[in-house]
Amino acid sequence: MSVPVRPRLRFAPAPTGLPHLGTARTALFNWLHARHCGGEMVLRIEDTNAELATTAHINQILEMLDWLGLDFDGEPVFQSERGALYDAAVARWLDAGQAYLDEGAVRFSVPDDGVTAFDDIVRGRVEFPNASIEDFVVRRSDGSATFFVANAVDDLDLDITHVVRGEDLLNTTPKVLLLRAALGATDVPTFAHLPLIVNKQRKKLSKRRDDVSLTSYRDRGVLPAAMVNYLALLGWGPPDGTEVRPLAEIVELFDLVDVNAAPAMFDMDKLTAINGQYLRSLDDAGFAAAIQPWVRAEPWGTHLDAATLSDVASLIRERTRLLSDAPDRIAFLFAEPEIDPDDWAAAMAPPAGDILDRARAAFSSADWNAATLHATLRGIGEEYGLKLGKAQAPVRVAITGRAVGPPLFESLALLGRNVTLARLAAAQARLVR
């Protein structure tokens, strides 16, 4: 009875720029399959391009994995430290007549006939006629090995059983397989080439045109758990149709055979909606802690104590979709609001002046709690034949500067009587100017 081979995958980023959405999705799918199958994921840094690969970029990859919560097995493998293995492979091909010198570089001699084929979990059977593959460079004139060599040698040396990567690398696969066979390998890894990620115009995501940097989404306030959940949906979907769920459940359900070959559309609206669900699942203290870095960056939030921030956070948690939105939504509680001119014009049509006057008079002696303030303003509105939504519009704009915001009466309770009355008076004065 044969012993099943333990799956061993590799996440192999090139540290030549900021980690992007496609890089993160590839890391996640490798990690999900490894954890689902009880296997391992190796981190292999493809840093053979000395001009572009930098320590800063390597650190950014490590930070990305840490932020997403994706661990790897063993120590990172750096291709820049494995040159001797690549040189030995090239020498072997030269000795066997499978490679030749060409103006200082070494090219692999591709057979003229036959096909190089492999089975892909996502794309099915894939075949490349050898006649369509040029004799390709395996060692540059500067002595460095090319991408194809490093991949073939390392996948063999590291016992990689599954190669899960983007569709854009599909055309490199036959060259790697030719080199692998020339090294004496009789088997091939299991391949899964993931679908392209496209924008709403169905064009491939481009760093020149689209916001693809993972750091950008982190800085805008996407929670790592929400980002992982959303990235998992870019090409894969749970069989029961429930898209927002804990990572442990995603690991349990994930299967590469369920990955769709069709392009996966990146939808910022969907990402922020999912992020909003994760934010709503936090308690007041957890949500307050999450928005704290953004609040602390504001002049009025520098010294805000934790208890006050927790009270305020409860007002906006239900409607917040990005953490970076939070300061703007609560700023009116700690600084003079900036009046939106369009909201002012819409809210201050008659009888707004009378409502402000009546509200100011009633609020000056009312019990200062949300329920009483709510009942008071509702009663004023009824006297003018207005529902509460219409009656509170001028008060909201006077207090917050905008027509939409956190629950008004809970906000007034936190803001306090004196500040509330002062802002109502300022609004009245602005009306008569």
The CA distance from 308 to 170, in Å, is: 54
pLDDT at 333: 96
Rg over alpha carbons for the chain, rounded to the nearest Å, is 30
**Greatest distance between any 2 Cα atoms in the chain:** 98
CA dist., res. 228 & res. 241, Å (int): 17
d(CA 342, CA 402): 9
Q: d(Cα 35, Cα 218) in Å, to the nearest integer?
A: 24
Beta bridge pairs of residue 124 = 120
Q: If you write DSSP's letter for every residue of 130-161 in order, what string do you get?
A: GGGS---EEE-TTSPBPHHHHHHHHHHHTT--
* Paired tokens of 182: 């020339």
- DSSP letters, 289-308, are HHHHHHHHTSGGGTT--HHH
Distance between CA atoms of residues 433 and 429, nearest Å: 6
pLDDT less than 70: residues of the chain: 1-4, 50
Single-letter code of the amino acid located at 200: K
For residue 1, the model assigns a pLDDT of: 38
State the Cα–Cα distance between residues 38 and 6, nearest whole angstrom: 7
Sign of torsion, CA 300 306 310 316? positive
33: CB partners within 8 A, 6+ apart: 7, 9, 39, 162, 164, 192, 254, 256
Instruction: For residue range 191-221, list pLDDT tens digits in order.
Output: 999 999 999 999 998 888 888 999 999 999 9
- The dihedral over CA atoms of 183, 188, 194, 196, expressed in degrees to the nearest 10, equals 40
Report pLDDT for 5: 75
Angle formed at CA 48 by CA 134 and CA 70, multiple of 5 degrees: 110
Helix (H, G, I), strand (E, B) or coil at 110: coil
Q: What distances in angstroms separate CA 429 from CA 351, 361, 424, 433, one per listed residue?
A: 15, 15, 9, 6
Strands 105-108 and 115-120: unpaired
Its pTM stands at 0.92
Structure tokens, 178: 């030719």
Q: Is 427 exposed, middle or buried, given 0-12, 13-18 or 19+ CB atoms closer than 10 A?
A: buried
Q: Annotated catalytic sites, by residue?
A: 207
Instruction: Indicate the residue type of 20.
Output: H
Measured distance CA(134)–CA(115) in Å, rounded = 13
The torsion angles phi and psi of 145, rounded to 5 degrees, stand at -80, 150
pLDDT for 169 equals 96
Q: Which residues does 69 contact at the CB level (< 8 Å), separation at least 6?
A: 224, 225, 228, 247
Q: What are phi and psi of 276, to 5 degrees?
A: -60, -40
